[in-house]
Every structure is written in structure tokens, then in C-alpha cells.
Structure 1
Amino acid sequence: MQHQHLPEGTSGSLDAVNQALAECYPDLSRQLKLAARYVLDHPMEIAFQSIRKSAAAADVTPSTLMRLAKRLGFDSYEQFREVFQSAVQAGPIELSGRASNLKALARATDDQVFLDVGDAAYDNIGRLFTADMQPRVRDAAQRLLEAGKVAVIGFRDTFACAYHFAYVGRIAMPNIQLIRGQEGGLLTELAPFGEGDVVVAFGFDPYCAETVRALEIARANGANAIVITDTLRSPLVPGAAVTFNIATATPHFFPSILSAITLIEVILAECVAYGPEELVDNVARFESRMREMGAYVDLE
């Protein structure tokens, strides 16, 4: 059995563990796949549950979880679990008080749907702001700043995410383009993107075939991919330069895009904060043009 060793110097990184799991997942046995799936989808539980409880939830034996940890190069399951504990304990940031307030509302209302949606929203955001996520955000921002052109892809339920990224991003970085893929124009729109360019792709379960196809085309042309998805088992992940697996849980019938929108704001804020002064000038010029054209209504 071939071991999936973590990159040098990243043994304490949850991102490195998740990436290694995603890469070796197709080659795992059925039992190890069940264990890996649970680990990828339930980092909080892995951090704080006993090995027996996590194994039962994953429908495997404790020894299977231990084999998975050793497959990744860890000496013990405890050493493996410490990576998750460190990442989770580093965040969420300043959200526990708000979550407690939300729970307190339950005593004042019988609208459980309202409360459940709010509870899921706070939890999704909390899972986004962890210490392990910060270097990925910085990496993504740096790649965007260095790119010649940036294509943004997201169809159906994630089109709102792609549109928001492209609209807000273009204000500071005019080299960002939204890919619409209308009337069979996907190949034509993606043709200009290749070496030195970046494609940003959004996709949540159920995964849109057009998004997967567009990502394949862009990567085949030599563009690097930044993927925002809901699990490292997503078909968008293989070959991505940077992957964000974010929480989309909600009582609603469609995946929540709250974390994706927040992540967009964080990445673009990093671009402006650490990019050249030209980006700030672009924002100022955009606002000036909008006001000159009467695009905004000023309050008297």
C-alpha cells in the first residue's frame, strides 16, 4: 500500500491533510473511502469526538481511521487528530457570542425555520474564518494579482457567486471576466485564457456539468484554477492550484451561498490590501465615473 505523505513542512496544516486526502481518495479501499469522506466532511467532529464515536459515525471501525491516519504519514491517530484540533481551536472568530444570542431567541419565538436558517448561517461563517484558511486566501489573492487575465465560472445555483466575484473584482482589477456560456459560446469565451491566466470556479452539490466542462477547458489551455466548492470530493477539485471547501449547510432546499459570498469579499479585500496602488486608483476612478453618470442617488 502506497502512503500519501504530506508536503514538507506542512504536517501541521489541515489544508495539507485535506489536500492529501483528496489526492489519494480515488485509490483508497471502500472502507478507507468511507473514513476519508467523513474526515473531509466533518472536521469539527474529528477534532473533538473520540475515535470510536467518529468511526461509528463514518460506519467504519476505529482501526480503519487509524489506517487512514498512517496512510497520510502520521505515527498515530492522536497526532492526526491534533491537526484538526489546532485548526478548529484557532477559529471561529468572534462568533460564539452571536450564536448564543441566536439560541436565546428560541425562547421568544416559535419560528423554528427562521432560527434554524440563522443557526446554520452563523456556523457556516464560523467554519470559514479559521487560521488554516488564511494562508489559502493569501495564496489565492497573490495568484489573482499575478494573473494576466482572470475568468470567473459558475452556472445555475452558483451564478450569483460568479457574478458577484466578477462585478466587484472588476472595479479594482479590470482583467477579470465573467464567463456566461450562453448560446453555445463557452469555447469562444474561454479561448483567450491560457498560460499565466487564472480561472475561478464555483460549484456545489449537485455539481453543474457546464461548470466542470468549462473548468476542464480552461485548465487544458494552461490556466491555473482556484476552486470554491463544498467538499474535496467535488469533481472541480482535481488539478486545482488552490481549493476552498466551504460549508453550505442550510435548512433551505438549496445549498447556502453565504460562505461563498463572504469568501469572495475576503479574497478581493486581500487583493486590494496587498496589491499595487493602481488597484485603489481603479476603485476611485470607477466610483467617480458612476457618480458622473448619475448611477447613484445621493441623499439630500
Structure 2
Amino acid sequence: MVLSHCLIDGSGSVVAFMEAVLGTERNLGYEQPRSRTRWQAIRSDLRRTFRDLPEVRRTVKVAARLARERRGEMTATPSTGVPADGDELVHVPFASAIIDVDHFDARAAELGGNNYSLVSAFATRLGVRMGRQRARDGAVSLMVSINDRTSLDDTRANAMTFTTFTVDPATATTDLTELRGAIRTALRNAREQPDESFQLLPLTPFIPRRAVRRTAAMVLGELPVTCSNVGDVPELVGRIDGVRQSDYVICWGVEQNVKKHDIEQPGGLLVVTALRHNGKITIGVVGYQVGAENTKAVVRDHVRQTLDELGITPLEVY
């Protein structure tokens, strides 16, 4: 199943899959295709744009203030020396691991952590292997997504927020106590004091492409490792034909039509996604390292070595 993240997030897709399997229909209130003419659509969109202008003006003020306060973050990502005309398309490889959930939880307990902290430790150590440590202090910036969907009737497209915090990778393989505490604190702070960077989203339609990289640096930070842990997923999600239960369910991000300049200028990419389903935890990894061999085999080896480093024996890595 291929979904656009512009339309839906992980928790929303879980609900959508369950409703599809059960045959549940939901009226989202959208007009039927071709129910209005092109000019009607243009006039409607213009009216909406004018209504949104006050919010856009407020956002511009926030952007100006954040630009002053975070000038260092916007320039912290090292230059990769990628030529400005690096328009050739590149392949962003994917690999995955399937792990027995009891084995995973037992290992997390041995290290003084839990499911979330061990997944975060995996993302951190994988970030080290893929060159995403910060040069100035050796830390890894972990960006964790947080589910903000309040109920099954919450039909927001992306009901989620993010929090970013730094992790000392040296302790991630031996003791998860500190990392578990850091995650708890970061999640609490994110709910009580949401990151102001995400107030910039209303500006998206107005940002020139050449300015996108600087805006992304402000929002994402330096060499982030994105970690999205969906958690426990109902078995129904893996019963896509309504009858037979799948052996496992894996989710991962897909990058399409990626130009070399666009992915190498900010320092590459690493996204780790995890979920628990049918007695297994599955981890999906999408990664691109500047100046390295970027193939599925290489990323798969990084995944195997990182799991071994953490004392985790997968059922399969592919």
C-alpha cells in the first residue's frame, strides 16, 4: 500500500486500513470530482487564500524571529561540496529487519529501557554508522514523531508533532536509562511547549524552492535521524483481504525523483520506522550517506551490524 504523507500519517493509515477491511465508509465532506468548474475552483481557492492572509502575516513574523534566533542552526550543516547542477536522480535504498517481539522486549529490559528507547537506541547507533554524528560534540540529533490523534473520529491529515533532542551514542548500547529519561522529558516538553518551527508550515506555498533548504535546516536541525515508532498495530491491519493474516507488516518512507543536490546538500538522510504486529517488531530503514556507496546491500549490512551491537538477533534482515 502506497500512501502520500501529504494526506495521512501512520496512525491515520492504521484507522483507514481497519475501516477498509471492515467495509466501513466515512464521509469526509469533500465535493465530488468535477462538481465545480475550473473558474469556480479558482475563485474558491482565491477566497480561501485571502482568508488565510492574517495567519500568513503572523507566520512571517515568527519566521523572521526564528531566523535571527537560530542563525547558527541554519548554517551548522556542513557543506558537502555538491555542485549546484547536481540534478541527476539518485537511488535512496531501503532495508528492513523482523524481530521476535518477546526477544526485543527482553533485551530492552536488560538494558534498563523499553520498546521506545531501544528503537531510539537502534536509530542512534545506526546514525553513527551512517555518518550522522555532529562534528562539534559527537552527539546524534534524534527527531521523534509523536501521535497527536485524539480519537477514531479525528480525521486530520497529519495529526502529529515532532520533538528533537540529542543523544550520546556511547551509552546507547549498554544502558538505556538515560535515553529513556531523555525521551520522556522530550515528549513532555513537546506537548507542553510545541516547537515553534512548525508554525512555519502555513508559509509552505509561498516559499521559493531555493529557500526550502534553509527553512528545512531551521525545522529539522543538524543531520537529524528521524525515528517514527508506530507502536502496537491491531492484527486486523495485516488482514488486508479480510480473511488471511499476514506474517508481518513493515512500513517505511519512500523518496521519489530525488536529485543528488537536494539530498546531499543537507547531508543525506536517515529515517527509521518501527511497528509491532502479530508477535513481531518490524523496523524499516531508509538511508542515504553522502560520499558512500548507497545500495540496499550496504544499508542492510549497517542494520545487521547495529542490531548485533545492541545484542538483538533478528529473524530476518532484507
Under TM normalisation by the shorter chain, which class is it? Answer: under 0.3
TM-score, with normalisation over the residues of structure 2? 0.25
- Which structure is richer in relative contact order (CA contacts within 8 A, separation 6 or more)? 2
TM-score, with normalisation over the residues of structure 1? 0.26
